[in-house]
Amino acid sequence: FVIGCHRSGTSLLASIISHCLGEKRTGDLDAVVDNPRGFFESSRLREFNDNILKQCGFSWDRPPLQPLAWSFGDRIQHLIPARVLFADYATHNTWVDKD
């Protein structure tokens, strides 16, 4: 996984790693004027991440200030169904993603 702050070069780094791995990417966010080569970011992973943050009362630009306790209460229940969404990621030998 490639992680970093907004406009910090994560798309470039993810593209380089993806190219080195020979990865064939599908389902990424569309390229835009200020990022014409694309984001190298899964739209599925981004939507999942945004939904989790929203369920906890946060957003990508307003993250929690302290780690959330996922092993307590109903928060872990939000993650269990997601295994189906990302099962194909686990079956590939090599892949890279960023958020």
pLDDT digits (tens, 9 = 90+) for 51-71: 888 888 899 899 888 887 776
Residue in 43, 41, 50, 40 with CA at minimum distance from that of residue 78? 50
pLDDT value, residue 93: 65
**pTM, full prediction:** 0.75
Q: Specify the higher pLDDT residue, 13 or 67.
A: 13
What would the mean pLDDT of 68-81 be, rounded to a whole number?
75
Q: Which residue's structure tokens are 């990302």? A: 86
